[in-house]
Amino acid sequence: MSGPGKRATSRCPGDWPCDSADIGLYRDLILPRGLYLILRGRELAGPRARAAAGLEGEVLEIEFGSGLNIPYYPAGLKRVRAVDLAAAGRKMAAKRAAACAVAIEYAGSDAQALPPAMRVSTAC
């Protein structure tokens, strides 16, 4: 629906009516905090440490979120370029990022919009 005094609506997953303000609120505020609560547990410490153990040079971390991987970055890492859609994650990561010996720089909010030099290619 649209018109004076009405918000534009669309169909969300599950065929529920919603509008872009609802989606933005969820994506920018609710989802980052919910993911933090789910992913902060000690049961993920081992997998995080194993994933970060071999990192060196410069790293591009897509979906950086609240910075839960920061404590596992190896000391020899030169820089982490962080990409995340939600600004709330950036705020949640601020203290961890400030205390980190590795330089962390935000490279944007959309991995698809990164300059070609920053894009990562993988091979099977």
- What is the C-alpha to C-alpha distance for residues 41 and 60, in angstroms, rounded to an integer? 23
> How far, in Å, CA of 12 to CA of 100, rounded?
39
CB atoms within 10 A of CB 46: 10
* pLDDT, tens digit only, all 124 positions of the chain: 444 554 444 555 555 555 555 667 777 777 878 777 877 888 889 998 999 998 999 999 998 989 999 999 998 899 999 998 888 888 889 999 999 999 999 998 888 888 877 766 544 3
Domains and CATH numbers, the chain: 14-118 (3.40.50.150)
User: What is the reported pLDDT for 87?
Assistant: 82
